[in-house]
Structure 1
Amino acid sequence: MTLDIGVSPSAQKVKWTRRSLSGNRLNIVMVGRFSDYQKRQDLLVEALAIILKGYRVHLTFIGDGMKKEAIQSRVNDLGMDECITFLPFFNKQQELWQVLLNSDLLVHACDYEGLCKSIIESMALGLPVLVSDVTPLNR
């Protein structure tokens, strides 16, 4: 039996555990399609270019879509290949959860959004979430 968001009711309970960041990098993840509207991976890349000047940060994008190549090209132009990883959507829910559990923060940059599955899953795991200041996410 599969529930409407693709999670088996027999799934094991997992919980994110805060890791010590001293001497390590901050691991950020964003899950979403690379569309020509709504999702703003481009803003996240530009912000990370500024942040990298003083901090050790790694960003993992999970998703596919028409803007993925353009974002990858911008990452290459900025010389950020070593601190940004691109992964496709996963076939198994547990693969996504493993990435989330090994991250320090889920970021969801967008121009508009409903309450998406990746935010719900991250919160269910206890992973801190940073979202754009858009309705309904800012309520």
Structure 2
Amino acid sequence: MNVLHVLGNISGTTIPVEIASATDRLPDTNVSLVSKDPLPQELPDTVENDQVLTDLCGFDDFSTLLHDVGKRYDIVHTHTVAEAAKVGYHAIRQPIHHVNTQHGHLHYTREEKVKNIPGLLLADTIIYNSQCTSRSYNLIEKALKSRANEYVVHNGVNIDAIQSSPTPTSTSQTVVTATRLIKRKNLGTLIRAIAHTDNISLRIIGDGPYKSELQQMTRKAGVESRVEFLGYLPDRQDVYAEIANGDVFALPSHGEGFCVAVTEGMAVGLPVVVSDIPIFHEVVGDAGVFVDRTDPVSIANALRELLENPQKAQTIGEQNRTRIREEFTLEDCARGYRDVYRAELS
């Protein structure tokens, strides 16, 4: 079974790349990658050189791409709105099995939902990354995707990579988070929560358009010396190491489709403080510490409670680690994708 994943870009911290690589390692499944953006100078460690259509990355024309390679693959798999629409349109003229994963519909704006319509209408099979995502469509959207086969396959965490991360060296009370710096992630409230504590520090992994505003917030809140912006880390192993160097993982998002970063914090063995929203109840489960995402005092109290009770934090962290091993491994995710491919071809 030959599968082509059409991606926006290929990087070491992109979950579709990790899933595709893990699926490629399964028996009887060969997965190739091609990206709309040019390739980075170095491929991620998880990606084999012969897995990438290097000569075709950075392509401009979907029609030409799929005409040239479509017959070599049993399934073409898309992950973003733009790629889903263009592959689906091409499939009208040249029949292909088109699978699309919906990663983030829960927090789509009205404009993004409109752009998502062709992908819903033209995909043969749709994979949702969570039950919450699968239930987030309005009546019109449900009608548009009524012809597609539908499956839920949760994202997964690379347990082996996390196990090989360096031993934590932090001796301070440190909260860590990893995310794209955009308003929806609600890091401003987390920064204000840090200001309601005396000696808790915050390390932020990631970059994005909201960074300068967040930095201004730290200065205004008087916690500039306790909040560190680590920036974008291209190597997933470095991300794991930085997460492991914290004591608590926190993310008071307004909305998520799944949130791999939170599951990585859990897999490392940290307690997690997250928003009291349905998706986190689905992913984090009973061991989560759920807070009012609009209340910095509530968040500060939750962080303080964990950091002042290390035995409690350790117990919760071990529960989190067990949950990830039992329900959200990358291998489980890959097998779920393979099962969907087999169902599509049958």
TM-score (norm 1): 0.80
**Alignment check: 8 A CA contact 1:132 1:138 kept:** no
Match of 1:49 among 192, 195, 209: 195
1-side partners of 2:162 and 2:213: how far apart?
37
- 1:104 counterpart residue number: 247
Higher helix share goes to which structure?
2
User: CA–CA distance in 2 between the matches of 1:32 and 1:80?
Assistant: 20
Q: Is the CA contact (8 Å cut-off) linking 2:175 and 2:201 kept in structure 1? A: yes
CA shift in 2, pair 1:17/1:78, >3 Å = same
Distance 1:18 1:95, change over 3 A: closer
2: CA distance between counterparts of 1:31 and 1:103? 11
- State the alpha-carbon separation in 2 of the partners of residues 16 and 138 from structure 1: 30
CA distance in 2, matches of 1:74, 1:116: 24
Aligned length: 131
Is the partner of 2:239 in helix, strand or coil? helix
| Percent of pairs with identical residues | 26
Question: How far, CA to CA, are the matches of 2:213 and 2:163 in structure 1?
Answer: 37
1:27 aligns with 174
Letter in 2 for 1:69: S
Larger RCO (alpha carbons 8 Å, 6+ apart): 1
Runs (4+) of structure 1 exceeding 4 A deviation are 14-19
Whether the 8 Å CA contact 1:34–1:65 is kept in 2: the answer is yes
Structure 2: unaligned runs, 5 residues or longer = 1-16, 21-43, 47-157, 283-346
Decide whether aligned partners of structure 1 residues 98 and 12 sit closer, same or farther in structure 2, where only a CA change above 3 A counts: closer
Shift, 1:3, TM fit:
2.9
Contact 1:114 1:137 in 2 (8 A): no
Higher CA-based Rg = 2
User: How far is the alpha carbon of 1:15 from its aligned partner?
Assistant: 7.5
The TM-score, its normalising length taken from structure 2, stands at 0.34
Between the aligned partners of 1:131 and 1:18, the Cα distance in structure 2 is: 22
Separation (CA, whole Å) in 2 of partners of 1:15 and 1:30: 17
Going from structure 1 to structure 2, the CA distance change for 1:16 and 1:138 (only over 3 Å counts) comes to: farther
Match of residue 3 from structure 1: 18
> CA 1:129/1:100 → structure 2, altered by over 3 Å: closer, same or farther?
same
Matches within 5 A, 1:125-136: 125-136=268-279
Name the SS of the counterpart of 1:112 in structure 2.
coil
Residues 1:122 and 2:122 aligned together: no
Q: CA deviation at 1:18?
A: 9.0
Counterpart secondary structure, 2:18:
coil
RMSD: 2.7
Distance 1:96 1:112 in 2: 22
Native 8 Å contact 1:14 1:125 kept in 2? no
| Cα distance in 2 for residues equivalent to 1:127 and 1:16 | 15
The 3-state SS of whatever aligns with 1:3 is helix
Alignment of 1:13 with 2:163, yes or no, is: yes
Does the C-alpha gap of structure 1 residues 131 and 7 become closer, same or farther in structure 2, counting only changes over 3 Å?
farther
